[in-house]
């Protein structure tokens, strides 16, 4: 018996705007001071290869989404099965993207698996160790640049198509190294640089913004600006855009997540599904993909139940100070037509 199909507009919203994130581990090899990983309430661990196979099957393989992204609140390369996991995903006819901190050694025998990934993004917060280690302590950024340079050479030698990208989280203390970082990336052959700034990039005392004119100093498309973790697009835009095929913001049959424009469906290492990639402690659980197919997890009935849990307890949680991630999110503030979201809790 074939599993039930997702309703088209629900599938379109949750899978076509952003590829789903799969967290193959929430363990990490860097103790970043501006990361919430040490504050995780949920247990830590690694997804097993057999569990990933179940996740991909219950996700519908490539029926709803053309790709998945390996990322989460840990470092994907802390899972020793990552190369076999890349193979499993590509064998399922899915593209795979990877977000990484770059603190891992190149494994020559597994480069064919690595270069079957469509895109690998390295997060680097400076051009020098003196600055980079302010946010990524005990990490030699020069070794990461060397790793990327070696990967560029190996990729080009094989004629692979993998895009190698660098993302810089821009803070008050590293903003002056934007241009030196971009120059280092150009020198080693990085394909693209993204500058992440704004609300949610870090705790308020170190958050800053970057002028969009900075990209004018480089070839078109080489540098892009990326929104902060908790910055939302213009009110109503995600859910109302007809080309996205999602339900209208005025459609009462659509879920809160569609109307508010929640960012990215995420599967945690233990199979738990949440509608937001920043919901690290799964405060809004939708179900477990190790046990339940995605058609049930994203059914209108289940989404309605999750919507009720968020909206019905919102005011009480604000009054008590026991907020969950959604309570301090600009997407919820836009949805409720608040002037601003409640003060964001950090780490998120």
Mean pLDDT across the chain, nearest whole number?
A: 85
- Cut 0.75: pTM above it: yes
Paired residues of 99 in beta bridges: 121
For residue 124 the two structure tokens come to 């680097």
Buried-state track 89-120, b at ≥16 Cβ within 10 A, e below 16: beebebbbbbbbbbbeeeeeeebebbbbbbbb
Average pLDDT over residues 90-99: 96
CB 6 within 8 A of CB 298: yes
pLDDT score, position 126: 97
pLDDT score, position 257: 78
pLDDT score, position 10: 86
Average pLDDT over residues 152-167: 98
User: Which residues have CB under 8 Å from 306's CB, separation 6+?
Assistant: 255, 256, 257, 275, 284, 285, 286
Average pLDDT over residues 283-305: 93
pLDDT score, position 338: 57
Cα gap 31→135, rounded to integer Å? 9
Q: Cis omega before residue 15 (within 30°)? A: no
User: Which residues have CB under 8 Å from 108's CB, separation 6+?
Assistant: none
Does position 94 have pLDDT exceeding 70, yes or no? Answer: yes
Read off the pLDDT of residues 299-336 as tens digits, 9 standing for 90 and up.
Answer: 999 998 888 888 887 888 888 877 777 877 777 777 77
pLDDT score, position 348: 44
Top-ranked range on mean pLDDT: pick from 8-17, 52-61, 75-84: 75-84
Read off the pLDDT of residues 218-260 as tens digits, 9 standing for 90 and up.
Answer: 999 999 997 655 444 333 333 333 333 333 444 555 677 777 7
pLDDT score, position 7: 86
Average pLDDT over residues 165-181: 96
pLDDT score, position 1: 36
Average pLDDT over residues 80-92: 97
Cα gap 77→27, rounded to integer Å? 10
pLDDT score, position 346: 43
H helix and E strand count, the chain: 13, 10
CB 36 within 8 A of CB 26: no
Top-ranked range on mean pLDDT: pick from 28-32, 113-117, 261-265: 113-117
Read off the pLDDT of residues 188-224 as tens digits, 9 standing for 90 and up.
Answer: 999 999 999 876 667 778 888 888 898 999 999 999 9
pLDDT score, position 329: 76
Of residues 331 and 95, the one with the higher pLDDT is 95
For residue 23 the two structure tokens come to 């967290």
Handedness of CA 213, 217, 219, 224 (dihedral sign): negative
At residue 340's C-alpha, the angle toward residues 40 and 196, to 5°, is: 55
Cα gap 101→305, rounded to integer Å? 36
Paired residues of 25 in beta bridges: 46
Nearest of 144, 124, 263, 135 to residue 194 by alpha carbon: 124
User: Which residues have CB under 8 Å from 174's CB, separation 6+?
Assistant: 125, 126, 131, 132, 134, 135, 168
For residue 123 the two structure tokens come to 């997060």
Paired residues of 282 in beta bridges: none
């Amino acid at each position: 018996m074939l599993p039930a199909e997702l309703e088209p507009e629900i599938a379109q919203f949750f899978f076509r705007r952003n590829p789903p994130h799969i967290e193959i581990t929430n363990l990490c090899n860097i103790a970043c001071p501006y990361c919430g990983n040490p504050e995780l309430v949920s247990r830590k661990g690694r997804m097993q290869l057999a569990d990933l196979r179940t996740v991909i099957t219950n996700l519908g393989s490539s029926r709803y989404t053309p790709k998945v992204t390996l990322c989460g609140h840990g470092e994907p390369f802390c899972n020793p099965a990552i190369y076999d996991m890349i193979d499993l995903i590509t064998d399922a006819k899915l593209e795979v993207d990877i977000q990484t901190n770059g603190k891992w050694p190149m494994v020559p025998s597994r480069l064919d698996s690595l270069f079957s990934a469509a895109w690998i993004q390295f997060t680097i917060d400076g051009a020098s160790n003196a600055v980079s280690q302010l946010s990524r302590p005990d990490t030699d950024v020069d070794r990461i640049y060397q790793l990327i340079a070696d990967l560029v050479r190996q990729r080009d030698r094989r004629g692979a198509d993998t895009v190698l990208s660098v993302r810089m989280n821009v803070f008050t203390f590293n903003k002056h190294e934007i241009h030196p970082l971009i120059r280092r990336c150009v020198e080693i052959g990085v394909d693209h640089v993204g500058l992440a700034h704004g609300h949610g990039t870090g705790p308020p005392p170190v958050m800053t913004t970057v002028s969009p004119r900075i990209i004018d100093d480089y070839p078109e498309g080489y540098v892009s600006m990326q929104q902060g973790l908790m910055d939302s697009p213009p009110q109503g835009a995600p859910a109302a855009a007809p080309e996205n095929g999602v339900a209208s913001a005025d459609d009462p049959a659509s879920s809160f997540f569609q109307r508010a424009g929640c960012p990215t469906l995420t599967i945690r290492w233990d199979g738990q599904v949440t509608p937001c990639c920043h919901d690290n402690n799964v405060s809004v659980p939708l179900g477990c993909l190790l046990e339940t197919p995605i058609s049930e997890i994203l059914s209108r009935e289940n989404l309605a139940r999750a919507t009720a849990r968020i909206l019905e307890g919102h005011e009480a949680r604000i009054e008590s100070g026991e907020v969950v991630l959604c309570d301090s999110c600009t997407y919820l503030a836009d949805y409720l037509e608040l002037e601003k979201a409640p003060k964001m809790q950090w780490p998120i």
